[in-house]
Structure 1
Amino acid sequence: MGNAAAKTATGGMRDVARRAVRAEIAAKAMELFLDQGFEETTVNQIAAGVGMSGRSLFRYFDTKEDMAIGGLVELGHDVAAALEDRPADEEPWSALRHALEVCVESLEGDEVGLRRAKMLAGTPSLRTAMLDKQLRWQELLVPHVEQRLRGSGQPQTLQARALQARSLQARALVSAALGCLDVAATVWTEVEGGRPLTDLVDDAFAAVRS
Protein backbone atom coordinates (compact mmCIF):
# COMPACT_ATOMS: atom_id res chain seq x y z
CA MET A 1 0.00 0.00 0.00
CA GLY A 2 1.43 3.39 -1.05
CA ASN A 3 1.77 6.35 1.29
CA ALA A 4 -1.27 8.11 -0.18
CA ALA A 5 -3.44 5.01 0.12
CA ALA A 6 -2.21 4.39 3.66
CA LYS A 7 -3.05 7.97 4.67
CA THR A 8 -6.50 7.64 3.12
CA ALA A 9 -7.11 4.38 4.97
CA THR A 10 -5.91 5.87 8.24
CA GLY A 11 -8.13 8.91 7.76
CA GLY A 12 -11.10 6.66 7.03
CA MET A 13 -10.50 4.66 10.20
CA ARG A 14 -10.29 7.85 12.22
CA ASP A 15 -13.58 9.03 10.78
CA VAL A 16 -15.24 5.73 11.69
CA ALA A 17 -13.81 5.90 15.21
CA ARG A 18 -14.92 9.50 15.59
CA ARG A 19 -18.46 8.68 14.47
CA ALA A 20 -18.56 5.79 16.93
CA VAL A 21 -17.54 8.05 19.81
CA ARG A 22 -20.07 10.69 18.74
CA ALA A 23 -22.79 8.04 18.66
CA GLU A 24 -21.84 6.84 22.14
CA ILE A 25 -21.90 10.37 23.55
CA ALA A 26 -25.23 11.17 21.87
CA ALA A 27 -26.81 7.96 23.19
CA LYS A 28 -25.70 8.64 26.76
CA ALA A 29 -26.74 12.29 26.50
CA MET A 30 -30.21 11.35 25.25
CA GLU A 31 -30.60 8.79 28.05
CA LEU A 32 -29.81 11.48 30.64
CA PHE A 33 -31.93 14.13 28.90
CA LEU A 34 -34.98 11.86 28.95
CA ASP A 35 -34.41 10.75 32.54
CA GLN A 36 -33.55 14.14 34.07
CA GLY A 37 -34.63 16.77 31.55
CA PHE A 38 -32.50 18.62 29.03
CA GLU A 39 -31.90 21.76 31.08
CA GLU A 40 -31.27 19.74 34.25
CA THR A 41 -28.57 17.57 32.68
CA THR A 42 -25.03 18.96 32.83
CA VAL A 43 -22.21 18.43 30.36
CA ASN A 44 -20.09 16.98 33.18
CA GLN A 45 -22.75 14.34 33.85
CA ILE A 46 -22.72 13.32 30.19
CA ALA A 47 -18.93 13.27 30.16
CA ALA A 48 -18.81 11.10 33.27
CA GLY A 49 -21.27 8.70 31.67
CA VAL A 50 -18.89 8.04 28.76
CA GLY A 51 -15.69 8.19 30.78
CA MET A 52 -14.19 11.43 29.56
CA SER A 53 -13.79 15.02 30.67
CA GLY A 54 -16.22 17.79 29.84
CA ARG A 55 -13.51 19.52 27.78
CA SER A 56 -12.94 16.35 25.75
CA LEU A 57 -16.64 16.14 25.05
CA PHE A 58 -16.48 19.38 23.08
CA ARG A 59 -14.02 17.85 20.67
CA TYR A 60 -17.00 15.94 19.30
CA PHE A 61 -19.90 18.36 19.79
CA ASP A 62 -19.97 22.15 19.71
CA THR A 63 -22.85 22.50 22.17
CA LYS A 64 -25.07 20.47 24.47
CA GLU A 65 -27.90 21.04 21.98
CA ASP A 66 -25.83 19.29 19.31
CA MET A 67 -25.70 16.20 21.51
CA ALA A 68 -29.49 16.06 21.39
CA ILE A 69 -30.06 16.79 17.72
CA GLY A 70 -26.72 16.19 16.00
CA GLY A 71 -28.08 13.00 14.49
CA LEU A 72 -30.61 15.05 12.52
CA VAL A 73 -27.92 16.05 10.04
CA GLU A 74 -27.24 12.40 9.26
CA LEU A 75 -30.99 11.80 9.07
CA GLY A 76 -31.21 14.61 6.54
CA HIS A 77 -28.77 12.73 4.31
CA ASP A 78 -31.03 9.67 4.59
CA VAL A 79 -34.04 11.75 3.52
CA ALA A 80 -32.07 13.14 0.56
CA ALA A 81 -31.11 9.61 -0.49
CA ALA A 82 -34.74 8.49 -0.22
CA LEU A 83 -35.81 11.48 -2.32
CA GLU A 84 -33.24 10.66 -4.97
CA ASP A 85 -34.51 7.08 -5.10
CA ARG A 86 -38.11 8.09 -5.80
CA PRO A 87 -39.38 7.49 -9.39
CA ALA A 88 -38.09 10.17 -11.74
CA ASP A 89 -41.58 11.00 -13.02
CA GLU A 90 -43.09 11.43 -9.54
CA GLU A 91 -44.12 15.03 -8.90
CA PRO A 92 -41.98 16.83 -6.28
CA TRP A 93 -44.61 17.25 -3.53
CA SER A 94 -45.44 13.54 -3.53
CA ALA A 95 -41.76 12.60 -3.70
CA LEU A 96 -41.02 14.79 -0.68
CA ARG A 97 -43.84 13.20 1.31
CA HIS A 98 -42.55 9.70 0.61
CA ALA A 99 -38.96 10.67 1.37
CA LEU A 100 -39.93 12.17 4.73
CA GLU A 101 -41.30 8.79 5.78
CA VAL A 102 -37.68 8.16 6.81
CA CYS A 103 -38.23 10.68 9.63
CA VAL A 104 -41.58 9.17 10.57
CA GLU A 105 -40.04 5.72 10.85
CA SER A 106 -37.14 7.12 12.88
CA LEU A 107 -39.54 8.49 15.49
CA GLU A 108 -42.26 5.83 15.47
CA GLY A 109 -39.74 3.01 15.34
CA ASP A 110 -37.92 4.25 18.44
CA GLU A 111 -39.37 3.12 21.75
CA VAL A 112 -38.53 6.54 23.20
CA GLY A 113 -39.44 8.39 20.00
CA LEU A 114 -42.47 10.12 21.51
CA ARG A 115 -40.55 11.21 24.59
CA ARG A 116 -37.75 12.47 22.38
CA ALA A 117 -40.20 14.41 20.23
CA LYS A 118 -41.75 15.97 23.33
CA MET A 119 -38.37 17.08 24.60
CA LEU A 120 -37.46 18.63 21.24
CA ALA A 121 -40.83 20.40 20.97
CA GLY A 122 -40.84 21.64 24.56
CA THR A 123 -37.28 22.95 24.95
CA PRO A 124 -36.75 26.46 23.51
CA SER A 125 -33.01 26.11 22.96
CA LEU A 126 -33.54 22.84 21.09
CA ARG A 127 -36.28 24.39 18.95
CA THR A 128 -33.82 27.10 17.93
CA ALA A 129 -31.10 24.56 17.19
CA MET A 130 -33.52 22.50 15.10
CA LEU A 131 -34.19 25.50 12.87
CA ASP A 132 -30.50 25.51 11.97
CA LYS A 133 -30.62 21.80 11.21
CA GLN A 134 -33.66 22.34 8.98
CA LEU A 135 -31.71 24.90 6.97
CA ARG A 136 -29.08 22.23 6.40
CA TRP A 137 -31.79 19.82 5.33
CA GLN A 138 -33.01 22.37 2.81
CA GLU A 139 -29.53 22.55 1.32
CA LEU A 140 -29.61 18.77 0.91
CA LEU A 141 -33.12 18.47 -0.49
CA VAL A 142 -33.54 21.52 -2.73
CA PRO A 143 -31.20 20.31 -5.51
CA HIS A 144 -33.17 17.06 -5.80
CA VAL A 145 -36.46 18.94 -6.06
CA GLU A 146 -35.02 21.33 -8.64
CA GLN A 147 -34.16 18.35 -10.81
CA ARG A 148 -37.79 17.21 -10.67
CA LEU A 149 -39.20 20.57 -11.73
CA ARG A 150 -39.61 20.62 -15.48
CA GLY A 151 -38.13 23.48 -17.48
CA SER A 152 -40.52 25.36 -19.73
CA GLY A 153 -38.19 25.79 -22.69
CA GLN A 154 -37.89 29.57 -22.53
CA PRO A 155 -35.62 31.38 -24.97
CA GLN A 156 -32.00 31.74 -23.96
CA THR A 157 -32.57 35.35 -22.87
CA LEU A 158 -35.04 34.17 -20.24
CA GLN A 159 -33.09 31.13 -19.10
CA ALA A 160 -31.56 32.77 -16.02
CA ARG A 161 -34.97 34.01 -14.89
CA ALA A 162 -36.46 30.55 -15.41
CA LEU A 163 -33.71 28.92 -13.36
CA GLN A 164 -34.25 31.47 -10.60
CA ALA A 165 -37.97 30.75 -10.58
CA ARG A 166 -37.31 27.02 -10.42
CA SER A 167 -34.95 27.50 -7.47
CA LEU A 168 -37.54 29.59 -5.64
CA GLN A 169 -40.22 26.97 -6.26
CA ALA A 170 -37.96 24.17 -5.03
CA ARG A 171 -37.08 26.06 -1.86
CA ALA A 172 -40.74 26.84 -1.18
CA LEU A 173 -41.74 23.19 -1.63
CA VAL A 174 -38.99 21.91 0.66
CA SER A 175 -39.69 24.56 3.30
CA ALA A 176 -43.41 23.74 3.24
CA ALA A 177 -42.76 20.00 3.45
CA LEU A 178 -40.47 20.39 6.45
CA GLY A 179 -43.05 22.68 8.05
CA CYS A 180 -45.69 19.98 7.61
CA LEU A 181 -43.42 17.44 9.27
CA ASP A 182 -42.76 19.80 12.18
CA VAL A 183 -46.46 20.57 12.71
CA ALA A 184 -47.38 16.88 12.52
CA ALA A 185 -44.69 15.95 15.05
CA THR A 186 -45.91 18.66 17.43
CA VAL A 187 -49.51 17.44 17.20
CA TRP A 188 -48.28 13.87 17.68
CA THR A 189 -46.78 14.89 21.03
CA GLU A 190 -49.94 16.77 22.00
CA VAL A 191 -52.15 13.72 21.44
CA GLU A 192 -49.64 11.50 23.25
CA GLY A 193 -49.09 9.38 20.16
CA GLY A 194 -52.83 8.68 19.97
CA ARG A 195 -52.74 8.96 16.18
CA PRO A 196 -50.03 7.51 13.93
CA LEU A 197 -47.47 10.13 13.03
CA THR A 198 -47.59 9.07 9.39
CA ASP A 199 -51.33 9.91 9.26
CA LEU A 200 -50.71 13.32 10.79
CA VAL A 201 -48.00 14.05 8.22
CA ASP A 202 -50.43 12.99 5.46
CA ASP A 203 -53.07 15.37 6.86
CA ALA A 204 -50.60 18.25 7.02
CA PHE A 205 -49.45 17.68 3.44
CA ALA A 206 -53.07 17.46 2.26
CA ALA A 207 -53.95 20.70 4.08
CA VAL A 208 -51.21 22.59 2.25
CA ARG A 209 -52.11 21.07 -1.11
CA SER A 210 -55.88 21.72 -0.79
Structure 2
Amino acid sequence: MTESSTPLQPRMRQTMRAEVARVATGLFAARGFENVTVPQIAAAAGVSRATFFRYFGSKEDAVLAALEGYGARIAEALAARPAGEDAWTALRRAFDVITDARSEDPEGGLALARLIESTPSLRTREMEKYRSWQETLSGVLAERLGRGKENFETALLAAAALTALEVATRRWAQTDGADDLGTLIDQAFLAMRAPAPDLL
Protein backbone atom coordinates (compact mmCIF):
# COMPACT_ATOMS: atom_id res chain seq x y z
CA MET A 1 0.00 0.00 0.00
CA THR A 2 1.44 3.35 -1.03
CA GLU A 3 1.39 6.42 1.17
CA SER A 4 -1.32 8.02 -0.96
CA SER A 5 -3.55 4.96 -0.55
CA THR A 6 -3.00 4.72 3.21
CA PRO A 7 -6.18 5.64 5.11
CA LEU A 8 -6.19 9.25 6.34
CA GLN A 9 -6.29 8.49 10.08
CA PRO A 10 -3.19 6.24 10.13
CA ARG A 11 -1.34 8.77 7.97
CA MET A 12 -2.25 11.58 10.34
CA ARG A 13 -1.08 9.48 13.28
CA GLN A 14 2.21 8.72 11.53
CA THR A 15 2.71 12.41 10.78
CA MET A 16 1.99 13.46 14.36
CA ARG A 17 4.20 10.71 15.75
CA ALA A 18 7.07 11.85 13.52
CA GLU A 19 6.55 15.45 14.63
CA VAL A 20 6.62 14.55 18.32
CA ALA A 21 9.81 12.55 17.74
CA ARG A 22 11.36 15.51 15.91
CA VAL A 23 10.48 17.89 18.74
CA ALA A 24 11.80 15.46 21.35
CA THR A 25 15.09 14.97 19.55
CA GLY A 26 15.52 18.73 19.19
CA LEU A 27 14.97 19.26 22.91
CA PHE A 28 17.35 16.46 23.83
CA ALA A 29 20.04 17.84 21.53
CA ALA A 30 19.68 21.34 22.99
CA ARG A 31 19.34 20.50 26.70
CA GLY A 32 20.67 16.96 27.13
CA PHE A 33 18.66 13.77 27.27
CA GLU A 34 18.47 13.55 31.06
CA ASN A 35 17.39 17.19 31.40
CA VAL A 36 14.19 16.88 29.39
CA THR A 37 11.00 15.36 30.77
CA VAL A 38 8.08 13.79 28.97
CA PRO A 39 5.71 16.64 30.05
CA GLN A 40 8.16 19.13 28.54
CA ILE A 41 8.24 17.21 25.27
CA ALA A 42 4.45 17.00 25.21
CA ALA A 43 4.08 20.71 25.86
CA ALA A 44 6.58 21.64 23.16
CA ALA A 45 4.86 19.34 20.66
CA GLY A 46 1.39 20.58 21.61
CA VAL A 47 0.10 17.21 22.81
CA SER A 48 -0.84 15.76 26.17
CA ARG A 49 1.38 13.48 28.24
CA ALA A 50 -1.10 10.67 27.60
CA THR A 51 -0.85 11.25 23.86
CA PHE A 52 2.95 11.04 24.04
CA PHE A 53 2.68 7.63 25.68
CA ARG A 54 0.21 6.49 23.02
CA TYR A 55 2.94 7.11 20.47
CA PHE A 56 6.00 6.05 22.49
CA GLY A 57 6.71 3.82 25.44
CA SER A 58 9.63 5.94 26.64
CA LYS A 59 11.87 8.91 25.84
CA GLU A 60 14.32 6.48 24.24
CA ASP A 61 11.60 5.26 21.88
CA ALA A 62 10.96 8.83 20.75
CA VAL A 63 14.60 9.24 19.74
CA LEU A 64 14.98 5.86 18.09
CA ALA A 65 11.79 6.33 16.09
CA ALA A 66 14.11 7.88 13.49
CA LEU A 67 15.67 4.43 12.94
CA GLU A 68 12.37 2.61 12.47
CA GLY A 69 12.03 0.94 9.11
CA TYR A 70 15.75 0.99 8.35
CA GLY A 71 16.20 -2.69 9.13
CA ALA A 72 13.56 -3.69 6.59
CA ARG A 73 14.87 -1.23 4.00
CA ILE A 74 18.46 -2.46 4.38
CA ALA A 75 17.24 -6.06 4.08
CA GLU A 76 15.33 -5.20 0.90
CA ALA A 77 18.42 -3.51 -0.53
CA LEU A 78 20.54 -6.54 0.35
CA ALA A 79 18.07 -8.93 -1.29
CA ALA A 80 18.12 -6.79 -4.44
CA ARG A 81 21.92 -6.87 -4.87
CA PRO A 82 23.26 -8.80 -7.91
CA ALA A 83 23.31 -12.55 -7.33
CA GLY A 84 26.99 -12.85 -8.26
CA GLU A 85 28.15 -10.16 -5.85
CA ASP A 86 30.07 -11.37 -2.82
CA ALA A 87 28.22 -11.18 0.49
CA TRP A 88 30.53 -8.62 2.12
CA THR A 89 30.22 -6.17 -0.79
CA ALA A 90 26.46 -6.72 -0.92
CA LEU A 91 26.19 -5.87 2.78
CA ARG A 92 28.24 -2.71 2.34
CA ARG A 93 26.14 -1.51 -0.56
CA ALA A 94 22.93 -2.29 1.33
CA PHE A 95 24.02 0.28 3.93
CA ASP A 96 23.73 2.95 1.22
CA VAL A 97 20.15 3.13 2.50
CA ILE A 98 21.53 4.85 5.59
CA THR A 99 24.13 7.07 3.91
CA ASP A 100 21.59 8.21 1.32
CA ALA A 101 19.18 9.20 4.09
CA ARG A 102 21.92 11.02 5.98
CA SER A 103 22.90 12.95 2.84
CA GLU A 104 19.32 14.23 2.57
CA ASP A 105 19.43 15.60 6.13
CA PRO A 106 23.06 15.65 7.28
CA GLU A 107 22.50 18.00 10.22
CA GLY A 108 19.54 16.02 11.52
CA GLY A 109 21.37 12.73 11.11
CA LEU A 110 24.46 14.05 12.82
CA ALA A 111 22.46 15.50 15.71
CA LEU A 112 20.80 12.11 16.20
CA ALA A 113 24.14 10.27 16.07
CA ARG A 114 25.71 12.68 18.58
CA LEU A 115 22.73 12.31 20.91
CA ILE A 116 22.90 8.51 20.83
CA GLU A 117 26.69 8.54 21.26
CA SER A 118 26.46 10.76 24.35
CA THR A 119 23.59 8.92 26.06
CA PRO A 120 24.28 5.41 27.47
CA SER A 121 20.62 4.37 27.57
CA LEU A 122 20.20 5.32 23.92
CA ARG A 123 23.33 3.43 22.91
CA THR A 124 21.97 0.35 24.67
CA ARG A 125 18.66 0.61 22.87
CA GLU A 126 20.42 1.22 19.57
CA MET A 127 22.41 -1.98 20.02
CA GLU A 128 19.17 -3.86 20.71
CA LYS A 129 17.85 -2.55 17.41
CA TYR A 130 21.05 -3.59 15.63
CA ARG A 131 20.58 -7.08 17.08
CA SER A 132 17.17 -7.35 15.45
CA TRP A 133 18.66 -6.09 12.17
CA GLN A 134 21.36 -8.75 12.46
CA GLU A 135 18.80 -11.53 12.54
CA THR A 136 17.00 -10.09 9.53
CA LEU A 137 20.16 -9.58 7.48
CA SER A 138 21.48 -13.02 8.38
CA GLY A 139 18.27 -14.52 7.04
CA VAL A 140 18.59 -12.63 3.75
CA LEU A 141 22.22 -13.70 3.40
CA ALA A 142 21.31 -17.31 4.12
CA GLU A 143 18.73 -17.21 1.35
CA ARG A 144 21.17 -15.57 -1.09
CA LEU A 145 23.82 -18.19 -0.33
CA GLY A 146 21.54 -21.18 -0.08
CA ARG A 147 22.26 -21.75 3.60
CA GLY A 148 19.97 -22.66 6.49
CA LYS A 149 18.30 -19.84 8.41
CA GLU A 150 20.37 -20.54 11.54
CA ASN A 151 23.65 -20.60 9.60
CA PHE A 152 26.62 -19.57 11.75
CA GLU A 153 28.62 -17.92 8.95
CA THR A 154 25.80 -15.67 7.73
CA ALA A 155 25.01 -14.63 11.31
CA LEU A 156 28.67 -13.77 11.81
CA LEU A 157 28.84 -11.77 8.57
CA ALA A 158 25.74 -9.78 9.46
CA ALA A 159 27.06 -9.07 12.96
CA ALA A 160 30.45 -7.99 11.59
CA ALA A 161 28.84 -5.67 9.05
CA LEU A 162 26.68 -4.03 11.71
CA THR A 163 29.72 -3.62 13.95
CA ALA A 164 31.48 -1.82 11.10
CA LEU A 165 28.43 0.42 10.68
CA GLU A 166 28.22 1.13 14.41
CA VAL A 167 31.92 2.02 14.77
CA ALA A 168 31.85 4.23 11.66
CA THR A 169 28.73 6.04 12.85
CA ARG A 170 30.26 6.63 16.28
CA ARG A 171 33.39 8.10 14.68
CA TRP A 172 31.19 10.30 12.48
CA ALA A 173 29.43 11.62 15.59
CA GLN A 174 32.65 12.06 17.56
CA THR A 175 34.21 14.16 14.79
CA ASP A 176 31.03 16.25 14.29
CA GLY A 177 30.73 15.03 10.73
CA ALA A 178 34.23 16.16 9.71
CA ASP A 179 34.63 12.84 7.88
CA ASP A 180 32.14 11.57 5.35
CA LEU A 181 29.97 8.80 6.80
CA GLY A 182 30.08 6.71 3.65
CA THR A 183 33.87 6.91 3.57
CA LEU A 184 34.07 5.87 7.22
CA ILE A 185 31.85 2.86 6.55
CA ASP A 186 34.05 1.93 3.57
CA GLN A 187 37.13 2.14 5.78
CA ALA A 188 35.50 0.04 8.50
CA PHE A 189 34.49 -2.66 6.00
CA LEU A 190 37.96 -2.69 4.48
CA ALA A 191 39.64 -2.92 7.89
CA MET A 192 37.47 -5.85 8.89
CA ARG A 193 38.06 -7.63 5.62
CA ALA A 194 41.82 -7.07 5.61
CA PRO A 195 43.06 -6.01 9.07
CA ALA A 196 46.42 -4.30 9.36
CA PRO A 197 49.18 -6.93 9.83
CA ASP A 198 50.30 -5.42 13.14
CA LEU A 199 46.84 -6.05 14.58
CA LEU A 200 47.01 -9.79 13.99
TM-score by length of 2: 0.86
Matched residue, 2:190: 206
CA distance in 2, matches of 1:38, 1:81: 33
1:141 is aligned with what amino acid?
Answer: L
Q: Distance in 2 between matches of 1:38 and 1:123?
A: 7
Q: Secondary structure at the match of 1:39?
A: helix
Larger displacement relative to structure 2 (104-113 or 136-145): 104-113
Q: Quick one: which of 26, 50, 71 aligns to 1:55?
A: 50
- Deviations along 1:58-111, one digit per CA (max 9) or x if unpaired, are 111111101001231212222112112211221111111001121123234322
Shift of residue 126 of structure 1? Answer: 0.2
Which residue is equivalent to 2:19? 24
1:174-185 matches, within 5 Å, as 174-185=158-169
**1:150, 1:91 → 2: CA distance?**
13
Aligned structure 1 segments of 4 or more residues deviating by more than 4 angstroms: none
**1:194 aligned counterpart, secondary structure:** coil
- Check conservation: 1:108, 1:197, Cα contact below 8 A: no
Using the TM superposition, give the Cα deviation of residue 150 of structure 1 relative to its aligned residue in structure 2, in angstroms: 4.2
State the alpha-carbon separation in 2 of the partners of residues 191 and 58 from structure 1.
Answer: 34
Q: Which structure has the larger Rg?
A: 1
Q: 2:171 aligns with which of 181, 187, 200?
A: 187
Would you say 1:142 and 2:138 are equivalent positions?
A: yes
In structure 1, which of residues 14, 39, 42 is the aligned counterpart of residue 34 of structure 2?
Answer: 39
C-alpha distance in structure 2 between counterparts of 1:122 and 1:148, whole Å: 37
Is the alpha carbon distance of 1:140 and 1:43 closer, same or farther for their aligned partners in structure 2, counting shifts above 3 Å?
Answer: same
Which structure 2 segments of 5+ residues have no match?
1-5, 195-200
For 2:102, the equivalent position in structure 1 comes to 107
RMSD, aligned CA = 2.0
Cα 1:14/1:138, change in 2 over 3 Å: farther
* Contact in 2 for aligned 1:88/1:148 (Cα 8 Å): yes
Q: Contact (CA 8 Å) 1:28, 1:46: kept in 2 or not?
A: yes
Q: How far, CA to CA, are the matches of 1:190 and 1:72 in structure 2? A: 19
CA contact 1:108–1:114 (8 Å) conserved in 2: no
Question: TM-score if structure 1 supplies the norm length?
Answer: 0.82
Unmatched runs of 5 consecutive residues or more in structure 1 = 1-10, 152-162
Partner of 2:87: 92
